[in-house]
Structure formats: structure tokens, C-alpha cells
Amino acid sequence: MARSRSGGRRRGRFEQRGDSLRVVVFAGTDPVTGRRTYLREKINGTDDAAWRKAENTLTQLRAKVLKQRSTASTVRFDYAVDEWLRTADIEQSTRDSYVGYIDRVIKPVLGDVAVNKLGARQLENLYADLRRCRMRCDGNPAVVAQAFGTLGALYPGRVVLGLGTGEALNEVPVTRIEWPEFRERFARLREAIELIRRLWTEERVTFDGDYYSTENATVYDRPARPVPIYVAAGGSVVAKYAGRAADGFICTSGKGMDLYTEKLQPAVDRGAEQVGRKPGDVPRSIEIKLSYDPDPATAAENTRFWAPLSLTAEQKHGLSDPVDIERAAEGLPIEQVASRWIVSVDPDEVTQRISSYVDAGFTDLVLHAAGSDQARFLEVAGQELLPRLRNLR
């Protein structure tokens, strides 16, 4: 049976385990997992000599922890970082990206702190904050507001900003983040839209949200009229939010008509009604997956490029690398690959099948064409489909 004896105010303790002693020193808390970490060392024996050795070991472990937590230098952290940037052997483009990151994120938090006052706890807290707010540094919605503000100024009335809660496949490979749960992603979406709209309508914006922040920020190329923000949704929760707060609603086709008529469209209507909007006040846009070609074999085979879209939840379970997902889709039968698409050689059939989406309340149709020859599709669709689709109004 183990016996424990405290090391007093020395941040450690001794444990007697049978015929040996163990020295335990608290080393800190993991900022991500929240778990406490310890340094441990075994001392053979339990006599007075063993206890003296344990005392010395405790002192050594304490010194090790303190050494990891501080440095003798008294210069400010921002000076130390600038000196490192000045002498680091890195490409100029890399240096520029580091400077921007450090100026936006590191210096505001630690810049005026003396290096010898930088304890492990401060660095751990900064690290944890960066992990929790992964997109605060390089994915600030203010950057999106600037880009689309410029587009809106250049092409008034012709630009729409579509936003959603994201997809791990598109973002994890380029951000190296742990993909957030839906609750956090949805909160980020709402906060991002609030910030973007303020930047388009206010002269200077100081914003302190849970995930994003700005200090006296401005968008110099503000459009005369804010760019419409459409929210993409595949479920009722976000669809309801789109009806309540967005300028329009987006979804994709091929998931069964009940999803649109029984879940998504009613959710948009409920959201609109909550804020006194009429259902007709919210444009409804749907991306229609279409493989149209006069040649039947070509029409079917063109969907092969988009085979990963047809993977079932079970087939893509545990896959996040695009290469792995493409590999999983390589052997799928063409029937499954084409199942989410309107595949046809007949323009009247295409029009009839698309009309079901118009009947379901969608006002804007976006044709997502399969195959690599997009110019050919545009030519054929313009001649054979567009005149028929216009009659659906």
C-alpha cells in the first residue's frame, strides 16, 4: 500500500510504495485536454538515505519545471521575436506571412511581456486560445468582407456571397485543424455574417466576438449596396436561420424531394415568419446536378468525375483525405455514381425533372454540369435547355 508525504510548499510530494519511494512533481496542465501532467522518479529503498535522495530529486525536478517555465532574459517578447525574424534563414514570402501572423495574433497578447516573465502557463493559454479559435488568425471574416466588398463595388448587382458551416474535406487539409463540432461551426457562421454586414455598413468596426475580433477595422471598397449573403443548408436548423437572417437560401439537389418539401423549405418559411418576413421574400437557390448530352453513354460516364459525391455515409466513414475518398469511389458502379444526377439525352425530360424543383418553391436554378467539357455543355444547354427552362417561370 502506498504512503504519501507532501513536499511542503515545494510543489511536489513523495509516495512510499513497498520498498521504494517515488517523487512526484506537478508540471502543468495540458491546455487542450485539460489533464494535469507530472514528473515522476523512483528511488530505491525507504531508509534515511533514500529519503535524503528523494529530497534532492524533488529539488532537481522542481528546477527542471522552473527552467522550462522561464528564461533569464529581460527583453520584451516582441523584441525577441523581431530579432528572430531578422536573422531567421527563411524565404521572404514565408517571412512576410510570419510577420502578419505575429503582428495580428502573438504581439497583441504577449508583445509587451518581458521574456523572463513568460511562464509556461501564459504560453499554454495562448496555445489553447489558438487551438480553440483556429480561424481567428487567418480566416477572419473581415478578409471575406474586404474581398467581396471589392467585387460588389466592381460588379454591382452581380455578386452573391454564399456561406455555410463548412466541410471537413475542404478545410482540414489546408488548415491542419481538428474539425469543430456542428454547434461551434454554426456559431462561427452566425458571428461571421454579423461582422461582415457591419463592415459593409459602418465606417469603423470594433468587434469582440467569441471567435472573431477586429479593432477599428474598415473596408475601403464598400459596395454601394451590401452584397446579398445566401446561407447554404442541408438541415432544418441552418435552413431556419437562413429564412430568419440571410438574404437567400442555398442547397443542392439529388437528395430526395421530401428533404426539400417536408424539411428545408418549411424551415426557411418558419425562420422568415419569426422576423416578420413573407416566405416569398427569401430567394431559394438550388444547385441542380445535371449530366445532359445527346450521347447516352457520354451522359452517364460524365458523372464518373464526381463519383465521391455518391458515396454513402458508411462508405466514407473515417475518410477525410481527398485522395482516400477518391480511391474509395473508384470502384463504384455507374448506377450509384449517377444516382444523384439528372442524366438524360432528352431536353424535354430534363425540363420536366427540373420543374419538380420549381414546384417545390425554388426560385433560382444553378446548373452543375458533369464532365470536363464545360464549353460544350454551355453551348448545348444554351440552345436546347435554356429556352425550355425559361418557360417554367
Whether the per-residue pLDDT at 110 is higher than 80: the answer is: no
> For a pLDDT cut of 70, what percent of the chain falls above it?
81
Whole-angstrom distance, CA of residue 274 vs CA of residue 144? 28
pLDDT at 194: 97
pLDDT-derived band at 106, boundaries 50, 70, 90: confident
pLDDT-derived band at 167, boundaries 50, 70, 90: confident
CB burial class (10 A; 0-12, 13-18, 19+) of residue 276?
A: exposed
pLDDT at 328: 85
Sequence letter at residue 37? T
pLDDT-derived band at 353, boundaries 50, 70, 90: very high
Average pLDDT over residues 110-137: 59
pLDDT at 201: 95
pLDDT at 1: 45
Average pLDDT over residues 101-115: 73
78 or 268, higher pLDDT: 268
Digit-coded pLDDT (tens) for 292-321: 988 888 888 889 888 888 888 778 766 767
Question: Are the CB atoms for 290 and 370 separated by under 8 Å?
Answer: yes
pLDDT-derived band at 137, boundaries 50, 70, 90: very low
pLDDT at 134: 44
Whole-angstrom distance, CA of residue 4 vs CA of residue 220? 65
Whether the per-residue pLDDT at 242 is higher than 80: the answer is: yes
pLDDT-derived band at 234, boundaries 50, 70, 90: very high
Sequence letter at residue 168? A
Whole-angstrom distance, CA of residue 300 vs CA of residue 181? 36
Of 134, 164, 168, 135, the closest CA to residue 324 belongs to 168
129 or 189, higher pLDDT: 189
DSSP SS3 for 201: helix
Digit-coded pLDDT (tens) for 27-74: 876 544 556 778 889 999 999 999 999 999 998 888 887 766 555 556
pLDDT at 122: 61
CA angle, 39 then 128 then 105, to 5°: 130
55-69, 277-291, 314-328, 346-360: which range is least confident on average?
Answer: 314-328
